Structures are given as structure tokens and as C-alpha cells.
Structure 1
Amino acid sequence: MARFHPLRVAAVDRLTDDSVAVTLEVPPALREEYRYTPGQHLAVRLDVDDTEVRRTYSICSPVLGPEAPAELRVGVRLVEGGEFSTFAHKELAAGDILHVMTPAGRFVLEPAPGYYAAVVGGSGITPVLAIAGTLLAQTADARFCLIRSDRTAASTMFLEEVADLKDRYPERFQLVTVLSREEQQAGLGSGRLDEQRLTGLLPALLPVETVTGWFLCGPYGLVQGAERALRGLGVNRHRIHEEIFHVDGGAAPAPVAATAVHSRVTAKLDGRSGTWPAQDGESLLETVLRNRADAPYACKGGVCGTCRAFLVSGEVRMDRNFALEAEETEAGFVLACQSHATTDEVELDFDR
């Protein structure tokens, strides 16, 4: 069960004009709880004007040994109007305390021999940096191709860390960089990595059909375009893993209007169950939160997957889903923050 703990900030390092890396110290007593799989993320809690704000940031540091981590590092890009990202850029300093949830997320790779590839945009590099760094360090029979898209060279996060991978593993790590708003002296021309461009580019870079696993991370448009390109090139959906960092309001399907269903919601959480009436229009997560403040969530936008739960019985309508893969929804998992009851009785299990 995910839990929040206070962690001390060890460092705040500026990466670009609009991004920083935050390093957190993990005390010995909590290190097992913060053991993570490369690609997972942390939810950070902040109180702003008596309102609790939660934001999710991916761990960028690789797993280099069997020991539980003494430190965790995340990348934070400044978002216009973003409460936590603004705080992190302007106020957060070494020595401060942040309340941080234990690692979560299923956009992960357990190191294993094979040929892996990623298409990332902007801050989507963050979890992939941990995935690639861990894989190359732990598995001598693995290769990784990173195709990254950024606006300009100056806005590119973790330049030094990616360059270090290229220097350390020159035979097993391939880097392809595309800048959307700036010409490069060498390499690919500028422009966005959309479906059409990726359909022509990917087969020229690597043997698409032999790639063991594809990892797509970044804005909604880039991830969806990359998925369509891969499926058009014959890649099985089971080899494609996605994590969306930003959803433009006009790019994603709009939520379905809520209908009034007077349901009772039963939820199992941390070994305890309860049943409560749902109020008109509220999500299952909102129903549970009114009665169990420890219900897991972070973004409430259907992106992070922190509120994932198993639908034991009943039926629900899920407005949006940018976190669960098809196999998970087919198995019966839902996002509680996006789900509304459509039957009189609904039962969820957050512990599965």
C-alpha cells in the first residue's frame, strides 16, 4: 500500500531554464519502502492555501545494485500556473522537507537481455533515463535505442546524463535527437515527431520487428502518434508501453457527462473494507476519499495510475484512461478517479 513519508531534500540542481532535478534523502528505516523498479514515479504532497496539492514525478536515477536506495532523484519541469513546479523552481532548497509517496507505476522494465527502444518528448526522458541506465548497467546482452524530441538544445533535460550513457556504452546505446524549433548542425532536420515522420524514420534507424519492447513517454500527441506508427509497422501492442506526461485539452477525448446513479460503493483498502453511498456525479475515488482519507491518488486526471483498483463487482463508466494498458482493463482494473458507478452496487479492491 502506497504511503507518504517526510523526506529531506538533499539538492535542487538546475538542468535548464525551466527544469530542475530534486534529490531526496531516504533514511535507513524507510529504504525498503522506497525500493523501486526503473520507470516508476513518486507523488509529492504540498499544502497551498489550506488546499492539498499532489503532483507526480518520475524517478530518473538508475538502479545500480541490490541495495535499497539511499537517495531518489526526480526531474521537475516548470508548468505555467503549476503550483508545485513553481514552488520547486522558486522556493525549494536543500534541507527542506517534502511529503513523498512510496514508488508507484507500471511503466517499467525489469532488466533482461534484448533490444529495447524508446520514443520520448520533453520531460518524458525522465523515467526512460532510469530504465536505460539500469538496463545497460545490469545486462551485458541488452541494447537500447533512445529517440528523443525537444524544442531546442537549451531546453533539453538531462543532457549530461544521456551523454554519459553514450560514452559508457558506445556499442549498446544509440541516441537520436530531434529538435522541433531549432536546426542541428548534424543529424536529423528540425520538426515534430508525428506519426508520418516516425513511420518513415523508425525502420531506417533500427530493425523495428526485432525490438523486444518499446517505451513511449511524453505529451499525449507524441505518444499517440508513435503508437499509431508502430502499430502500422506491424508491432504487437503487447510490446508497446506508454506513459503520458501532459494531455492538451483539445487533444484527448472529453469526459462523458455524469449521470445520476444512486449507488453504494464498497472498497477494500489496506486490508479494511467499507461501504458508502455515492453522491450524484462524483467519481468512485471521491466517494472513497470522503470516508477514507488514505485512498491512493496523485493527479486525478487519469494519467498517473496511482488510483488503480480492481473492479470486483458492478459496472462503471471510465471517462478517461491514459495510465492503464489494454491488458489491465481487460483483466478488470479501473482508474477510480475517472470511474462513475452505473449500477446500484459497485465493489473495488485497491489492494490487488
Structure 2
Amino acid sequence: MAVSPPSVPSAPVRSARHGAFHPLTVAAVDRLTDDSVALTLRVPEELRAEYRHAPGQHLTLRRKAPGSTGTRRTYSICSPAPAPDGPGPELLRVGVRLVEGGEFSTFAHKEIAAGDVLDVMVPAGRFVLEPSAAPAGGHYTAIVGGSGITPVLSIVASLLAARPDARFCLVRSDRTAASTMFLEEVADLKNRWPDRFQLVTVLSREEQEAGLPSGRLDEERLTELLPALLPVSRVTGWFLCGPYGLVQGAQRALGALGVSRTRVHEEIFHVEDAAPRVPAAAPAGAASRRVTARLDGRSGTWPVRDGESLLDAVLRSRADAPYACKGGVCGTCRAFLVTGEVRMDRNFALESEETEAGFVLACQSHAVTEDVEIDFDR
């Protein structure tokens, strides 16, 4: 995917220090299922303004290890967002599902305890729904799988509390009832707003006593199911979150049902079936490449090694450059392409409107032209 900058920048400038880490104390560790926990983090009063978040945003947690830059992982905030005119949050809660071989998720499940201190990046992410921006009588729907419930939990709770005229339908898929994260929290939302919150649960490996038959929520099933559940054409916005296969299947189903792409928002948590990255190599005899990057108001220019991503080139001199997964999924390293041309290996974080506006993922971008300039501050 080759990307060139547009003639006119069209994105607002982001706040400074968007990639900053601060030490936060773990207030509680709650086991949700056999393979998932919720971490509650306490935010000191002097940092609460920096940790204000929109419903659906995420935090990057960093585990420092001797002799390394540490392990980073991104986890969505499940707690409701603070009111726009109120103070920042005193507590932040994230959900962590155990991933086989996952260094940080194993650490979270086996070692993290109340009282521990973690390095936590300030909130980021664009998979959001601001209640203040929702139109009167807005009707929203989310299709989630597994841990994809985490950001949507914050979105639903924040929206329904702030907008008495809003409605929300949640279609969630899990393997079994025992593996379902935030079961009690979602039930509480249903009890609190029975007339405005519709809940549909599908289990892929277990039959339910009542409700839908078991099975995967694939494209064919969603194409049949959604029109039976709600007026598809009148849904204000769709939020898809979870594994790559579920999100892509839901996107195709909505397309088949005539839903405009502009009303669909996605966040992918796992990309098991994506093609592996193939590093871009400079042609033989090509001139050396350089990247100029602006970050927190300061700019610098550095050489880009053969096959190296723009992010890695910047990190050699600016260790504070924002990133988390380095896999093209979380979007933490999003930057605006000011000049030059780059090739992105893969992109599971930016929507088409963002790439058309000139944004790229620095972790996946390789310089095509001799000079490239990116701006992390936009």
C-alpha cells in the first residue's frame, strides 16, 4: 500500500505529549473468567487531566525489564468516561485476556497485584463515541467478539448515562458462558436501561437455554440475523470490535445490507489470519533514505536503514516515539505524512478516511522516496 501526502492537511492537531507514560498504582485485580482479569489503576490528582478519555479509547501498559526498553501492550478502557465538564478520572479499569505465549498478559494474570506500579501511557485511540456528538434519538449497534466487549462497555455506559434519548443494541459472541468477560457489568446495564439497551448473546461452543442457537457470527449469519433484530437502515452508527475474522465478516454483512461505510467503525484485537509482514528492501544502488519527524513540538532528521520502518528509525534517537503493538493493529504510532511517499505493509487500525487524509502507521511505513517527513503531533 503506497501512500503519498494530500495537498492540504485535513486533520486537527493532537495534544502534546500524546505518547507520555506515567507510573500508576494498581488499585485492584479482579478475575473475570479463568483466562481474563480486570486491572483497576489509580490516577493521582495531578495527572487526572492527562488521563481524561473518550468512551472507547485504550491505554498502553509497559513492563520494564532489565537491559531492554520493556514490553508494551494496549488494553481498552472499560470504565465510563468522565463528564466533559467534570474532573478527570480517579480510577481507570482495563480488561486483560490471557493470550497463549503472551508475555504481558501472562504477567498480568500471574504476577500483578494491588499496590504494584505500572507505566501507563495517556489514553489514545479513535474507536470512540462521544455522547455530546451523538444526534438526538441516536440508535447505535455494536457487534463484538470475546474481549472486544471491553471498549464497547465504556461506550454503552457513557452514552446511555449522558443521553436519555439514545438507544444501543449489543450483539456479542463468546465461546461459552464461562469465558464471557464482564458478564455482570453488561447485565447491570440491561437492568439499568431495559428499554434503551438491547442485548443479544451468541455462544459459539455452547447451547443456551434460551435465545439464539450456538454457532459463529459469520457474514452469512449476520446478514440474516441483523434485519430480524433491528431496523438496519436507521442505525446511526455501527461499532465492530474483536478478532479480525469477526470484524471483516460483520463489515461484509453490513455492506450487503446497504450500510454506508461511513457509519461503520472498527477496532481489531487479533489478526491471526493476516499475511505476515515482508520488510521493504531498498533497490540495489538506491540513495540512502532519511526521515524527518515532529514529535511533541520538536523535529529531527535521521537516516533510515535498509528494510527499516520509519518508527524504528525514529526510535533510535527518540525513545519517546509512541507505539505499542508494532503490528499495524493498535494505531498508537499514527502519524501524518507531510512530504514524501511511503509504503505500508499492513493496516488494521486506520480507516479509509484517515489514509486518504494523509495518515500512516509509522510501524508499518517504509520510505519509498529519498526524504520523508511525518508528524506525530497531528
Could you give the per-residue CA deviations for residues 110-131 of structure 1, whole angstroms, max 9, x where no partner exists? Answer: 1123000000000000000000
- Are the aligned partners of 1:120 and 1:218 in contact in 2 as well (CA < 8 Å)? yes
Residue 255 of structure 1: how far off its partner (Å) = 2.6
Deviation per residue, 1:219-252 (Å, 9 max, x gap): 000000000000111101110000000110xx22
Match of 1:311 among 337, 351, 373: 337
Equivalent in the alignment of 1:155? 179
CA contact (8 A) 1:40 1:108 kept: yes
Question: In the aligned structure 2, how far is the partner of 1:341 from the partner of 1:294?
Answer: 21
- 1:120 and 1:208 map into 2 onto residues whose CA distance is 17
| Corresponding residue number in structure 2 for 1:34 | 51
Q: Deviations over 1:15-71 (max 9, x none)?
A: 000000000000000000000000000000002453310000000001253221000
Q: 2:95 aligns to what?
A: 75
What residue number does 2:104 align with?
84
> Residue 259 of structure 1: CA displacement?
1.8
How many residues are matched?
Answer: 350
TM-score (norm 2): 0.91
* Cα distance between partner residues in 1 of 2:162 and 2:115: 32
Equivalence for 2:27 = 10
Q: Corresponding residue for 2:291? A: 265
- Alignment partners' CA distance in 1, 2:212 and 2:82: 32
Structure 2 match to 1:279: 305
Is the counterpart of residue 110 in structure 1 residue 127 in structure 2?
no
Matches of 1:290 and 1:92, distance apart in 2: 30
CA distance in 2, matches of 1:77, 1:5: 23
Where in structure 2 are there 5+ consecutive unaligned residues? 1-16
Distance 1:206 1:245 in 2: 26
Note if contact 1:64-1:137 (Cα within 8 Å) is conserved in structure 2: no
Q: State the distance in 1 between where 2:275 and 2:325 align.
A: 17
Moved more, 4-13 or 64-73: 64-73
Contact 1:123–1:157 (8 Å) recurs in 2: yes
Which amino acid in structure 2 is aligned with residue 291 of structure 1? Answer: S
2:37: which partner in 1? 20
Question: Counterpart of 2:63?
Answer: 46
Q: 1:224 aligns with which of 248, 254, 267?
A: 248
Structure 1 vs Structure 2: percent identity of aligned residues? 77
Q: Deviations over 1:289-325 (max 9, x none)?
A: 0011110001101011000000000000000101101
Corresponding letter in the other structure for 2:241: C
Bigger relative contact order (CA 8 A; separation at least 6): 2
**Runs of 5+ unmatched residues, structure 1:** none
Q: Name the aligned partner's letter for residue 184 of structure 2.
A: E
RMSD of aligned alpha carbons: 0.9
So what's the TM-score if we normalise by structure 1? Answer: 0.98
Alignment partners' CA distance in 2, 1:237 and 1:48 = 42
Q: Which 4+ runs in 1 deviate beyond 4 A?
A: none
